[in-house]
Structure 1
Amino acid sequence: MSRFRSRRRFLQLLGGASLGAAGCLGRDGGSSSPTTTTETTTTTAEPTTTSGPTSGPDERVTATPPGDPALSPSGTWPQYQFDGGNTGYNPDVSVPPVVEEYWRLNAGGSPVLDGERLYNLHGRGRDKSALVRRDPSTMAERSATTLVRYGINSPPVVAGDRVVVTTFIEAFCLAADGDEVLWRGPEMDGIHGPPAVGDGVAAVSGGGFDGVPTHLRAFELGDGTERWRYDLGSDAKGAPAVADGAVFVVTDDAVHAVDLATGERRFRVESRASEWTTPVATTEAAYLSTRDDELLVLAPTDGTELWRAPGSGTPVVADDVLHIAVGGETATLLRDDGKEVAARFHGVPHARARETILSSDEHGQLVAYDSVEERRLWIHQTPEVQVADVISQGVGTAVPLDGAVYVVAADGFHGLGPARN
C-alpha cells in the first residue's frame, strides 16, 4: 500500500487537482461532437452511500448535493487563480474569521463563480465530461451540459454571460445561464490546461502530444473566430496568463509573451522551467517558478529580468507583495525587489482574499492567516482517502468568498462558512 507523503508528490497532487484534466488522456475514436442535455431538475433525495472498491476502508465522500445547511456566499471567482493573470488574489472579499464545515459532498472539481452560479465538472461516479451549473449555497445542480466523452479540462472560465472550457483537442463556449453550446474551436490536440480570458479573447495552449506541434491560439470570445496562432516550439501544459495586452505561456525551455491583439512575439526568454508551469502576469511583471526552485520575475514589456528569489509553485500576487512556497512554507516578498518582509506561514499558498492568505500542507490541512497581523485565524483538516491500494491526502483548490470558502480535497468538496455558535 502506498502513501503519497513526500513534498514533491504533494506539489504534484496540488497542481493536478487545481489544473487537472478529467479523462484527457483517453480518446473516443476521433469523435468530438458535443451532446447537449436538457435542463437538469435537482432533487432533494437523501444522500447516498456506495461500497468501496476493495475489502479495505473506502473513505471517499459519496453524499450527493444539495448540502445542508446552506452557505450564504457572495462575490466572484471567475477564472483559475481568480483572473486572467492567475494572480490568485481577490481584494474585494473577506473570508470568515472563524469557520466550520457546513457540508462535504461528492460535488465535482475546482469551481468558478459569477456571483449567481457556480460552475465545475461532475464528481466521482458521474459523467466527468459534463459542465455543471450549481447553486453556490448548496451545490445543487441547476443544469448540466455534456460535451465530449473523453472529458474536459478543469476548471472552466466564466466571462459575463459565457463559460469557456477546453477539452483535450478544442475549446467550447457555452451559455452561462442555460444548456447551450455557443461555439466550439478547431481541433488542436494536446490541450492540458484551462484557457485564460481577457479583453474579449480566449487564449488556449495546445500541444504536448505525440506528433502535434505545440502552439498558442487566440479566439474571439463573441463568436469563436480564430484571431491568431503562435508556434511555441516545445511543450506547454500549464495555463496561460493574460495581462498588459499580452498572453504569457511557459514551455519546457522558455517563457513566451505574445501580443494579444496581433499574435506577434513580444519576447521569448530561455528558462529552466517545467512545461507544467503556470505563469502569473500583471502590468508590472511576469512571474514563473523554475526547476531550480527559483522564482523568476521578468518585465512584461521585453522580458528583462527584474529579480529572482527562492520559490516554487505558482505565486499568489497581491498589491505590494506576493506569496510563494519556500521549503513547504509560505514566504511573503516585496513585489519591487523580492525582499522577504514577513514571518513565514505554514504550508504552500493557494489564494488570498483581502488580508487573508489560504495555505495548505501535505497532510490535508487548510490554514487561514491574517497577513497584516501575521497570525493564524483557523485550520480546517481534510481527511485522507483510500482508493483501491492508494492512500492520498491534500488540498487541491481553495476558493475564498464573502461568507464562504470552497475546498476541493482528496476526500471531496467541502463548503466552509462562518461559525454558527
Structure 2
Amino acid sequence: MDGGIGGETTPRGTGAGIDERETTEPPGQPALSPAGVWPQPRFDAANTATNPDGAGLRDGEQYWRLDAGYTPVVDGGTLYNTYRRDQDHTDLTRRDPATMAVSSRTSLVQYGVNGPPVVADDRVYVSTFIEVFCLAAERDEVLWRGPKMDGVQCPPAVADGVVYVNSGGFEDVPAHLRAFDAASGEERWRYDTAAETKGTPAIADGTVYVAARDGLHAVDATSGERVFHQPAVSESWSTPVAAHGAVYALGGENDDSLVAVDAASGDVRWRNALPTAPVATADALYVGTESGVAALDPADGSIVSRLGGGGTPAALAGDVVYAADRGTLRAIDVNGDGELWSYETERVQVTDVISQSIGGVTPVDGAVYVNAADGFHGFGPTR
C-alpha cells in the first residue's frame, strides 16, 4: 500500500527515519477512552475483521501520533504490539491503550517478526520467520517457543486451545501447516501443502483453511487430514475469510478475482472480479471497488449497495467500516449514510524512500489505532 496520492512530494525530517515532528516517547496526550477488544489481527480465527458487538467511531479525530511500533491487538485492558526501532531485538510490548505508555516488554529475536500478535486465554502468540512464541499476557515471560520451521511469513491463528502456524517453506523446508497445543506447545500434527503459502489460516467449524499457490487447502482441525483441495484459489499471500458457510480467498497471481468456495464441499460458489479480501458480517461482504466501498450479497457475489468513500475495507466495528485508501483512513457508515469522517496521514521519507501508507487498522469502542508510514496514530471521538 506504499505510495503517494498524487502531486509533488517534498522530503521532510532527517531522511533517516520517521518525520522529526513525531512524538517519540509515550504516553500520548490527550488520553483516549477505549473499551472492548480486538484480540486477533482480523478480530477472530475466521478472519472476518468484524466485531459486530462493537461501536464504531461515527465522528473522529486524531488524538496523538507516536513512534510506538506496529499494528496492535487489544484485550483485557492491554494493547499489545511489536516494536524494534533503534533496538537490537524486536520486543512484544504491553501498553496502556489510552496513552500507549509501556507496562512491560519481552525481548524476542533479532530477525523478522510477523505482526500483529494474537491474544487468547491470557496468553499472547507471536510468530517469527522460523518459530512461534507463547508469552504471558500480563508479564514479561516466555512460556514456550519453537520448534524451528523456516519460512513463516504471517501471524499465527488460535482457536479452541490450538495454535496454527503456516510456513511457506524455505530452502530445504517444504511449505506446511502445523498445529500446536496452545498451553504446552506440543505439536499435534503437520500437514504438507507442498506449495508456497504465506497467509494466516482461517478456522471455522472444525476446519482450517490455507491458501497456497496450488489452491485452497481445507484441513481437519483435529486430525490434520485433508478435507478438500480447490485449485481455483491460487494466491499464496491470500488470507482466507470464513463466513456464511463459505471461504473467500483471492483467485491468483494472474486472476484478479474474489472466489467463494463452499466450506464443506470445496465447490466454487461464485467469483467476482475484485482483487481484495473482504470484511465479512453475518449478512454481507464489504469490499473495495473502483467506485468506492461496496456491500456484496454472500449468496452470489453481486453488489447490493455502494457505500461511497474509497479504498480497501480493513476492519468493521458495529455499523462503521474502516477503509484504508493508500495513506487515508476513511470511516464509512454501513447503513448508507456515506463517509462519516476521514484522516490523511503524512508523506514521510524513510532512508531514500518516500512513503504514505496504512499498514493496519485496529478499532475498539471509543478508539481506533492505525499503523501508518508516518507513525502510530490514536483516533478518538471528536472533542
Relative to the length of structure 2, the TM-score reads 0.93
Output the CA distance in 1 between the equivalents of 2:175 and 2:234.
16
Q: In the alignment, which residue of structure 1 is the partner of 2:303?
A: 340
**2:314 matched residue in structure 1:** 350
Decide which moves more: 130-139 or 206-215.
206-215
1:243 offset after TM fit, Å?
A: 1.0
User: How far did residue 289 of structure 1 move?
Assistant: 1.4
In structure 2, list runs of 5 or more residues that go unmatched: 7-11
In structure 1, how many angstroms separate the alpha carbons of the residues matched to 2:162 and 2:224? 12
CA distance in 1, matches of 2:91, 2:314: 26
Structure 1's 414 and 233: CA in aligned 2 closer, same or farther, altered over 3 A?
same
User: Does the aligned pair in 2 maintain the 1:252–1:274 contact within 8 Å?
Assistant: yes
- Partner of residue 397 from structure 1, selected from 335, 356, 360: 360
Q: Which whole-Å CA distance do the structure 1 matches of 2:76 and 2:291 have between them?
A: 33
Deviation at 1:181, TM superposition (A): 1.0
- SS of residue matched to 1:278: coil
SS of structure 2 residue aligned to 1:376? strand
Q: Which residue number in structure 1 is paired with residue 117 of structure 2? A: 156
SS at match of 1:70: coil
Q: Percent identity?
A: 50
**CA offset at residue 410 of structure 1?**
0.8
TM-score when normalising by structure 1: 0.85
Question: Mean alpha-carbon deviation: is it higher for 336-345 or for 63-72?
Answer: 336-345
Instruction: Please report how far the alpha carbon of residue 135 of structure 1 lies from its aligned counterpart in structure 2 after TM superposition.
Output: 0.5
Superimposed CA distance per residue, residues 29-50 of structure 1 (whole angstroms, 9 cap, x where no aligned partner) = xxxxxxxxxxxxxxxxxxxxx9
Q: Tell me the amino acid that sits aligned with residue 189 of structure 2.
A: W
Aligned length: 374
- 1:228 aligned to 189, 195, 198, which one? 189
Comparing 286-295 with 157-166, greater Cα deviation is found at: 286-295
Contact 1:244 1:283 in 2 (8 A): no
Q: Secondary structure at the match of 2:114?
A: coil
1:304 aligns with 2:267: yes
Structure 2 counterparts to residues 232-247 of structure 1, below 5 A: 232-247=193-208
Show the counterpart of 1:259.
Answer: 220
Tell me which residue corresponds to 2:3.
4
Measured in 1, the distance between the counterparts of 2:3 and 2:291 equals 15
Paired residues for 1:13-412 under 5 Å: 52-53=14-15, 58=19, 61-127=22-88, 129-282=90-243, 284-291=245-252, 292-327=255-290, 329-345=292-308, 346-362=310-326, 364-412=327-375
Deviates more, 1:209-218 or 1:102-111: 209-218
* Letter of the structure 1 residue corresponding to residue 209 of structure 2: F
Corresponding residue SS for 1:288: strand
- Give per-residue Cα distances to partners, 1:261-299, cap 9 Å, x unaligned: 110101111135321111111361100012322110011
After alignment, is 124-133 or 82-91 more displaced? 124-133
Structure richer in strand, relative to its length: 2
Unaligned stretches of 5+ residues in structure 1: 8-49
325 and 136 in structure 1: CA distance in 2 versus 1, 3 angstrom threshold = same
Give yes or no for contact 1:342–1:374 (8 Å, CA) kept in 2: no
Distance 1:60 1:278 in 2: 35
Letter in 2 for 1:354: G
Maintained 8 Å contact 2:163/2:181 = yes
What amino acid sits opposite 1:381 in the alignment?
E
Cα separation, 1, equivalents of 2:257 and 2:242: 16
Q: What is the alpha-carbon root mean square deviation over aligned residues?
A: 2.0
